[in-house]
Structures are given as structure tokens and as C-alpha cells.
Amino acid sequence: MWVVKTQGETFYVQHVDCSVPWSTKETPDNSHTKGSIKVKDCLLAIDDQNCATISKLSIFDKVRLKNQKLGVTRVITSRGHELREALKNHKVKHGPIKTVGGACSTTFYITDIYKEQDVTLLMLVVTGLRKLMPNESYYRMYDDPKYAKTNDIDLDAEFDEEDEDD
């Protein structure tokens, strides 16, 4: 097994692929390890087969990692109206609500919630709301204008029931 350390965490993996430059650090007086490989400004991803991939850190990755440290959580649900109502009623600070198409004509509503405790509250109030993980395609689609569109709708706007049938 290989040992990969980052941000104070240690991971034991079966294989490592590295596509960015690295340097060595020798530790001849260490009884366990005589040296290590150091990589800076990179992204570590570990797949289902327990293989690590070390790649270049993109601007999206930098923003995502900074937001994670600040406690920003990306959530998804198919219940857009419930989400908007809960955000408004509980005065939850959030990013833009964006829509992404899913399978079988499902529309998903995705937003960033700025406080972790608000995520817990929303998960109790909004049917089917869940956290998105950074390795999910919907997580990445939120940042890509090609896939996601901003869907800010004025909740206070009124409409006639006649208009609903049009």
C-alpha cells in the first residue's frame, strides 16, 4: 500500500497516478521512511478501487475547496417550490438556485447553503433534499453555464389560476 498525506489526513491506497511535477524530500535518519515525494497545488482524488489520482488543481477546485473550508454545502432536490419556500421562511442564506435536467424529464434544483446548521434544518423540511458530493456530475454541472441555468423566481409574485392552464 501507498501512504498519501494531505491537509493533515492520511490515506492508504493501492495505486497512485500523478500527472503533475513533484520533488523529493530525503529523511535518512527516519527509521520508517528514507524519503518522500512532495507535490504542491494539486488535487487528490481516490476512486472506488482505492487508487489515488493526483492532478492539476483547477480554478473550480480551488473555489470548491475554499468553500468547503468555509462550511458551504451544495444541496440538490427535485422539489424546487419546497426548497424556495423553506429558504424564504427560515431566512437561509444561499447561492443562486440553478436547475439541471435529469433522467426521465426530472428537473433538479441545486444551490449552495452557506451555513452547515441550515443544511440540517433544510433536510428536515424539504422532501428529498440531500448534500451533493464533489465527485458527482450534478455538483460540477452547477458551475457550468452549459448545463445549469439560474432559476431565481419571485416567490411573492402572484398569478391567476387561469394562467396556470395556459
What does the pLDDT look like over 43-76, one tens digit per residue? 888 888 999 999 998 888 888 788 778 889 999 9
69 — alpha (psi -120 to 50), left (phi > 0) or beta? Answer: alpha
- Cell numbers at residue 28, please? 535518512
From start to end of 8-50, where are the E strands?
A: 9-13, 15-18, 23-26, 35-38, 42-46
- Give start-end residues of each CATH 3.30.70 domain in the chain: 61-150
Whether 135 shows a pLDDT value over 80: the answer reads: no
Q: How far is CA 68 from CA 54, 65, 88, 112, 127, in A?
A: 19, 5, 23, 11, 24
Choosing among 3.30.70, 1.10.150, 1.20.950, 3.40.50, the CATH entry for 61-150 is: 3.30.70
Q: Is the separation of the CB atoms in 3 and 37 below 8 Å? A: no
What crossing angle do the helices spanning 116-125 and 80-89 adopt, rounded to 10°? 130
The 10 Å Cβ neighbour count of residue 77 is 19
Q: Is the separation of the CB atoms in 102 and 108 below 8 Å? A: yes
Whether 91 shows a pLDDT value over 80: the answer reads: yes
151 pLDDT tier (thresholds 50, 70, 90) = low
